Amino acid sequence: MWALIPALLLLVLPAKAAQDPTRPPSWLSAPAAQSRPAGELQSILGDGSNRQAVIGGEIYREGDRLGGNRITEIRRDGVKLSNGEFLSLFPKFSERTQETRWD
């Protein structure tokens, strides 16, 4: 009987050793990091008439097409589209002060 216990331990221990000791338990693992939506303004590059906008990981200039719209203006605080939509670099700030623009 006592000889059977070490044999059983030899079967159980390799299964435990195969698990990654640095991996968090399944009940603790966080959801995967969420990326930004494809049409979200991420950054404004450059200054003056040489501005570029990073939208969904792609670089755009004034006049470029974004979906079915054309980029009509790139400002320090956002991008204006041909359909009148404004993609704000600071959406929470822009919601509070729509009339305040830096350009």
Predicted confidence band of residue 2 (pLDDT cuts 50, 70, 90) = low
Domain of residue 76: give its range.
41-91
Length of the chain in terms of residues written = 103
pLDDT greater at residue 75 or residue 11: 75
28 inside domain: no
| pLDDT tens digits, 33-59 | 444 445 789 999 998 788 999 998 899
In order of 3, 16, 25, 27, 103, the CA distances from 21 in angstroms are 29, 9, 10, 15, 54
User: Does residue 21 form part of some domain?
Assistant: no
Residue 19 domain-assigned?
A: no
Residue 4 within any structural domain of the chain: no
Q: Is the pLDDT of residue 8 over 50?
A: yes
Q: Domain total for the chain?
A: 1
| pLDDT 10s digits, 54-103 | 998 899 999 999 988 999 999 988 999 999 999 988 766 655 555 555 55
